[in-house]
Amino acid sequence: MSDRTYHPDEPHGQGHRAQLNWLRAGVLGANDGIVSIAALLLGVIATGLGEGAILLAGIASTIAGAVSMALGEYVSVSAQRDTEKKLLALERWELREQPEAEHQELTGILMGYGISANTADQAAQEIGKRDPLAAHLQLELGMDSEELTNPFVAALSSAMAFLLGALLPLLSVVFAPSGSEAWVVTATTLVTLALTGFISAVLSKTSRLRSCIRLVVGGALGLALTYGVGSLFGG
């Protein structure tokens, strides 16, 4: 059954897709926190600075990264919400001013799902007597008027995901034996990237091995590059 099938008495598939998108966004946000902070820590470690300077740089970068992620998500989702509101207002106007055209449009959409013309016409009439706006939003646009995107929730979720991801490399620096910080940060980061790759693949129903390898290899290259730059300038 298609995600866009509408039934007035049952939950929409849109809600399930929204939940999946939030989960995936959370995993990606945490991954950003892991990679960016771990890479910065390795770059600072490579310069030969003391533990205090390394930790301070990590904390400052974590705060800056979380704020940046939250602001970027807020702006992006706010623009999306504005678009959704415009579409919602337009659909309301069309139902009020052009009911017959909207009825024909809905009938055509239902026929596109393999429903006969007579049955689709009757179904469109019955929907029109109950909640035509919800049906048109769901079938035409894949939207739910009760589940518009929330920029504040998106910003907070993005910031929290980044902070949780950044916490792992920061803790690895704090608890690493003296002189082994670089190895501990690297190992912690690569293992965590493999885990987030696995989770992302499960949510997306894609190849778990490919997702893990892609993240681990990409993360390893990033860590090596920043460590090399830190060593160069530190020297």
pLDDT in tens, the chain (235 residues): 334 443 444 444 445 555 555 666 677 778 889 999 999 999 999 988 888 888 899 999 999 999 998 898 889 888 888 888 888 888 788 777 777 887 787 788 888 778 888 887 787 777 777 777 777 777 777 666 666 677 888 888 888 989 998 999 999 998 988 888 899 999 999 999 998 888 878 877 888 899 889 889 998 998 999 989 888 887 5
- Encode burial over 149-183: b for 16+ CB neighbours within 10 A, e otherwise: bebeebbebbbbbbbebbebbbebbeebeeeebbe
pLDDT at position 123: 77
Could you state, in order of their start, the residue ranges of all structural domains in the chain? Answer: 18-234
pLDDT at position 6: 38
Burial level of 111, CB count in 10 A (0-12/13-18/19+)?
A: middle
pLDDT at position 13: 46
Under a CB-based contact definition with an 8 Å cutoff, are residues 162 and 29 in contact? yes
d(C-alpha 36, C-alpha 165), whole Å: 9
pLDDT at position 221: 93
Cα-based distances in Å from 28 to 20, 65, 204: 12, 14, 12
pLDDT at position 38: 92
pLDDT at position 7: 42
Of the CA atoms within 13 Å of residue 80, those in its CB half-sphere come to 14
Amino acid at 223: L
- Judged by DSSP in three states, 6 sits in coil
d(C-alpha 226, C-alpha 234), whole Å: 12
Question: Which residue matches tokens 């792992």?
Answer: 168
Burial level of 35, CB count in 10 A (0-12/13-18/19+)?
A: buried
CA–centroid distance for 61 within its chain:
21
d(C-alpha 154, C-alpha 159), whole Å: 9
d(C-alpha 235, C-alpha 232), whole Å: 5
d(C-alpha 101, C-alpha 110), whole Å: 14
Under a CB-based contact definition with an 8 Å cutoff, are residues 40 and 227 in contact? no
pLDDT at position 9: 40
